[in-house]
Copies of this chain bind each other. A is one copy, B any other.
Amino acid sequence: MFIRCASCPLRRRPAFRQKSDEEVRFIETLKTEHLRLPEGADIILPEQDDAELFTVFSGWVFRYKELSDGRRQILNFALPGDLIGLQASLFEKALHGAVALTDVELCVIPRRKLWQLYEKMPEVAYDVTWLGAQTVALVDENLLSAGRRNAAERIAALVASLYKRMETLGAVRDNSMPFPLTQQHIADALGLSLVHTNKTLAKLKSSGLFSIADGRLTLDNPRAVGRLAQHFEKDIAPRPII
């Protein structure tokens, strides 16, 4: 099953900057495949030397690094519209891994076509850079969390960030959004142990900040979460999508 960019429902959402027909047609020539992968599938392997470039079409993905004894750090989560594998495409080898957190659909742009894009369609090249810079911004924020926030603040910052992003995508209803993370994912993303994550999570839930059930998170007290997180992100302006 192939989804044509011209009729892509994702890119029409208000979260994204609307592109000209010409640009969309061009992007469609780049896209070779619409890939479906099950939860848990490896998208990019650490050290992989032929990773492609992907746009997340549906589902959640995370990038990670790990140490030889198994300690794992999740670097950031990618949601629909986000680009995955830019580093891996530009460098000889991938310096990180990427895994499907849920069942996912990915638009595949072969790494060998990346240069074409710069030659032929500078607007799109600019957007690629923009999305790369967006990744830096996400990782920056996570580094601030891991380095300088305590456990409760880290969780609040993660929740606030994901909630805002999902809201922008139109995936929030009644203060509630899909939340596929296990506590192990949360721990790995925040640089905490599983046990301590569990206990801190329990405190925040019982304080009425938010609740998690049936794979969904409900934000019960947005202001308290925002205060803890010090994450005063305003509405996210429409952004590029490849």
A residues neighboring B (CB under 8 Å): 63, 65, 67-68, 71-73, 75, 86-87, 90-92, 95-96, 115, 118-119, 122-123, 125-126, 128-130, 132-133, 135-137, 139-144, 146-149, 188, 190-191, 230, 237
In the complex, how many angstroms separate the beta carbon of A234 from the nearest chain B beta carbon? 10
10 contacts between A and B (CB under 8 A): A67-B230, A71-B149, A72-B148, A75-B143, A91-B137, A122-B122, A125-B126, A129-B132, A132-B133, A135-B136
Cβ of B90 and Cβ of A133 under 8 Å apart?
yes
Query: Interface centre among A71, A73, A133, by most B CB within 10 Å?
Result: A133
Query: Taking the full assembly, how many copies of this chain does it contain?
Result: 2
CB-CB nearest in chain B for A143: B143
B-side contacts of A72, CB under 8 Å = 148
Give A148 to B75 CA distance when docked, in angstroms. Answer: 11
Query: Interface centre among A135, A136, A146, by most B CB within 10 Å?
Result: A136
Cβ of A146 and Cβ of B149 under 8 Å apart?
no
Cβ of B230 and Cβ of A129 under 8 Å apart?
no
B-side contacts of A126, CB under 8 Å = 115, 118, 125
In the complex, how many angstroms separate the beta carbon of A99 from the nearest chain B beta carbon? 15
Q: A125-B126, A126-B125, A230-B68 are in contact. Are A73 and B143 (CB under 8 A)?
A: yes
